[in-house]
Amino acid sequence: MTKDEAIALGFNPLPHFTITGALIYDLGRDRHLSLGCVGEANEMIWICSSDHKDPKKITDLICIHNFDHDGLLTEEKLKAILTALTWPKNTK
């Protein structure tokens, strides 16, 4: 999986530097996916919940993919995650 492939699926780079080079996918309702270290040995995906009044403040997060346990992310797995979290709206 590459950053360009993730961007083609709807992820967007953050406007500021992060150590993980995070890409964000807006899920609506103050939630987003954060994809970090794409294609590297520290690759991870977090589902994050933001404070309704301050979207920069993360209130909850759950790791749903971690390289150490799950290996490298594939495009098929990322599409399955997106489908599961956005169905029926997302039909890509």
Mean predicted confidence (pLDDT) in 35-56: 94
Residue 78 is part of which domain span? 3-86
Q: Which backbone phi and psi does 61 adopt, to 5 degrees?
A: -150, 150
Binned at pLDDT 50, 70 and 90, residue 56 comes out as confident
pLDDT at 90: 56
CA distance 11 to 26: 8
Question: Domain containing 55 — which CATH number?
Answer: 2.30.31
pLDDT digits (tens, 9 = 90+) for 68-85: 999 999 999 999 999 999
Domain annotation covers residue 35: yes
Count: domains in the chain? 1
What pLDDT sits at residue 38?
95
Q: pLDDT tens digits, residue range 57-70?
A: 999 999 999 999 99
- Within a domain: residue 91? no
Q: Is the predicted pLDDT of residue 33 greater than 60, yes or no? A: yes
